[in-house]
Amino acid sequence: MAYSSLESCLIDLERNGQLVRVKEEVDPYLEMAAIHLRVYEIGGPALLFENVKGSRFRAASNIFGTLDRSRFIFRNTLASVQKLIELKGDPIKAIKHPLQNFGAGWAALKALPLRNPFTKPVLYEEIQISDLPLIHHWPNDGGAFVTLPQVYTEDIDQPGIMKANLGMYRIQLNGNEYETNREIGLHYQLHRGIGVHQTKANRKGLPLKVSCFVGGPPSHTVSAVMPLPEGISEMTFAGVLGGRRFRYTYADGFCISTDADFVITGEVYPGENKPEGPFGDHLGYYSLKHSFPLMRVHKVYARKNAIWPFTVVGRPPQEDTSFGQLIHEITGDAIPQEIPGVKEVHAVDAAGVHPLLLAIGSERYTPYLPTKQPAELLTIASHILGTGQLSLAKFLFITADDTQKLSTHRVKDFFTYLFERVDLSRDIHFHTNTTIDTLDYSGTGLNTGSKVVVAAYGDNKRVLATEIPASFSEKNSFGPAQMVMPGVICLQISTYSDAVAAANEMSVLDETFKPILNDLKGIVQIIVCDDAAFTAASLNNYLWVTYTRCNPSHDIHGVAAFTEHKHWGCKGPMIIDARIKPHHAPPVLKDPAIEKRVDRLFQKGGSLSSIVGH
């Protein structure tokens, strides 16, 4: 079905038992987010809030809450989009099999955006920012945010929709130093197309015109998060995925999506920034207050009976996890097509996506040599870390699998395979003083930190331990220790105080365990943490604690570590200091009082009582 609006999609979901209406008045301050989180956690339906306190507009969330629901929404177009992406990698196939691929060509006709000067539903009325559902998601957030924005900008040197960029960059609507209804905050990170556009506008001393679309057909929202190559218009992708051409017009020089529910237009002037944040973000911590571009509000439009879509991000998995699953479903083998030798790349959601990449590559450089060791894998790793948003990765574990049975999406099996083969004295490669994800506070500053590549290939070098060695327990006087999975121990020690004390602690650990080096052959990682029981409780806990709280160059140590010709390695297990550091952002936590308050909706007679046992 080609949805012409967000409401048509929600009606379709309701008809098919995938949407529940919340009729009670709900407070946008923390309550709506708490309800969303609880429903998402149980795999519940999409939500339509019909009575938002302080706003006359309805709001919707959890629209993309499961991969199955996303598949349902795009059930008539998903196969065609997948075929188009496949043909891009192998266009000769279309020539060889024209009838077989006719449907994909027909779908491509929807790609061309349609200028729509007559029907302008989104221009139905002008409103103000204060009229919107001002949703405050987490207790320490700096204000209300747009969490599903489609931020549209044009290239000042090549204006027009075909060279435009549509991205999902969060918008702060109030709070901090923003003048209500006149200013909002525009937060965007590294490797984003809007940055290219603002740079060009700044060079000419001109403001960048920005249009923020909210709502509209669900394909528009998905197109804003698609990792498309620079120069390819997201609006063309929205048309193909939605089975309906992207409709637009211009008002006062600003591009307007005529199918959107709301449009906020404004300008970003060179050098005009204001503090934005804090914001409970997708790594499971708050992104703190920092200076980001200020957008001077020009006008705010709403269509008749407009609906405000939103999501809530926090410690993964959350609804944005389903976005990632949908993108993987759509793109399939796009990354292997782009990077020669790559078979799979998986940005691990449980670790916050950017902190941890797992990859399977090829190893074909020296088939004539009897000794198997990483060679091509190191070339591939460099290519991965130089490609788009993959370049934000902090940890990259890469291997080659001659059996072709390994998958990066079976995370525990992947680590087991790699840990059995890794040579800790040879296979660890650091990138220091480089860029990392803006939201990652484990580094030395905003956007600044380090990376590490662990590239392993060859025959098994060890049998991974499944129990803590007896000699480890005898030597350990630091605190509780538990096995996380084969080859990985988590060790609880005293709270992190400062770098000097940490260096001394790591030195003591080294000296303690160096005498039992032979007994630790089956151990690859010792995770130093604040809470061993929590870290070892689940694979997701290990992934979240270890890879979000570590700056590789500063926090990776080793038993019997050495540096030789600038190369670092260790003869015993790698030690990762994954304790919370003073400069880290605090984790996002639910408010118990709010949780108790929203119980009413899930109890007998409440709008959501029917889904409690879902």
Tokens linked to 214: 């909210």
Of 175, 171, 169, 170, give the one whose Cα is nearest residue 143: 175
Please report the pLDDT score of residue 229 as a whole number: 57
pLDDT at 101 over 50: no
What is the pLDDT at residue 189?
A: 63
Buried b or exposed e, range 423-454, using 16+ CB within 10 angstroms:
bbbebbbebeebbbbbbbbbbeebbebbbbbb
Q: What average pLDDT does range 150-173 have in this prediction?
A: 92
Task: Tell me the average pLDDT across 521-526.
Answer: 98
Most trustworthy range by pLDDT among 139-153, 176-190, 353-367, 375-389: 139-153
pTM of the model: 0.88
Class of the CATH-defined domain 6-310: mainly beta
- The identity of residue 414, as a single letter, is F
Any idea which architecture 470-577 has in CATH? 3-Layer(aba) Sandwich (3.40)
- What confidence score (pLDDT) does residue 368 get? 61
Average pLDDT over residues 452-465: 96
Tens-place pLDDT, residues 237-290 = 899 899 999 999 999 999 999 999 999 999 999 989 999 999 999 899 999 999
Q: Which long-range contacts (CB under 8 A, 24 or more apart) does 587-595 make?
A: 587/284, 587/285, 587/286, 587/315, 588/138, 588/140, 588/280, 588/281, 588/284, 588/285, 588/286, 588/314, 588/315, 589/139, 590/34, 590/37, 591/30, 591/34, 591/139, 594/30, 594/31, 594/34, 595/34
- pLDDT exceeds cutoff 60 at 401: yes
Confidence tier at 481 by pLDDT (50, 70, 90): very high
Check pLDDT > 70 for residue 190. no
Nearest-Å Rg of the Cα atoms of the chain is 25
Burial 535-563 (b: 16+ CB within 10 A, else e): bbeeebbbbbbbbbbbbbbbbbbbbbbee
**What are the tokens at 524?**
């690859």
Intrachain domains 6-310 and 470-577 with the same fold? no
Query: For the chain, which residues make up each domain, given as ranges?
Result: 6-310, 319-456, 470-577
Mean pLDDT of 170-174: 95
**Average pLDDT score over the chain:** 90
Q: State both tokens at 397.
A: 């574990």
- Which contiguous run of DSSP H or E holds residue 327? helix 319-331
pLDDT at position 387 is 82
Tens-place pLDDT, residues 591-613: 999 999 999 999 998 999 988 75
Percentage with pLDDT > 70 across the chain: 91
Q: Is 296 helix (H, G, I), strand (E, B) or coil?
A: strand
Please indicate whether residue 371 or residue 194 has the higher confidence score (pLDDT): 194
Q: Per DSSP, which regions of 138-207 are E strands?
A: 145-146, 149-153, 165-167, 171-172, 183-186
Model confidence pLDDT, tens digit, residues 546-581: 999 999 999 999 999 999 999 999 999 999 999 999
**Confidence (pLDDT) at 182:** 98
CB 211 within 8 A of CB 264: yes
pLDDT of residue 96: 41
Residue 557's pLDDT is what?
Answer: 97
Q: How far is 183 from 174, CA to CA, in rounded Å?
A: 8
Give the pLDDT of residue 367.
Answer: 65
> Mean pLDDT: which of 90-104, 149-163, 190-204, 509-523 is highest?
509-523
Does the bond joining 207 to the residue before it have cis omega, within 30 degrees of 0?
A: no
Residue, of 487 and 448, whose pLDDT is higher:
487
pLDDT of 91 above 60: no
- 34 vs 295: CA distance, rounded Å: 29
Tens of pLDDT, residue by residue over 408-452, are 999 999 999 999 999 999 999 999 998 887 778 888 887 789 999
Residues 201-229 pLDDT 10s: 889 899 999 999 999 999 999 999 887 65
For residues 399 and 421, the answer to whether their CB atoms sit within 8 Å is: yes
Specify the higher pLDDT residue, 198 or 285.
285
Q: What strands lie across the sheet with 46-49, from one edge to the other?
A: 19-22, 46-49, 58-61, 307-310
* Structural contact between residues 308 and 60, judged by C-beta atoms closer than 8 angstroms: yes
pLDDT over 80 (residue 455) = yes
CATH architecture group of domain 319-456: 3-Layer(aba) Sandwich (3.40)
pLDDT at position 108 is 63
Q: Give me 131's structure tokens.
A: 């009229």
pLDDT band, very low/low/confident/very high, at 181 (cuts 50, 70, 90): very high
Pairing of strands 58-61, 561-564: unpaired
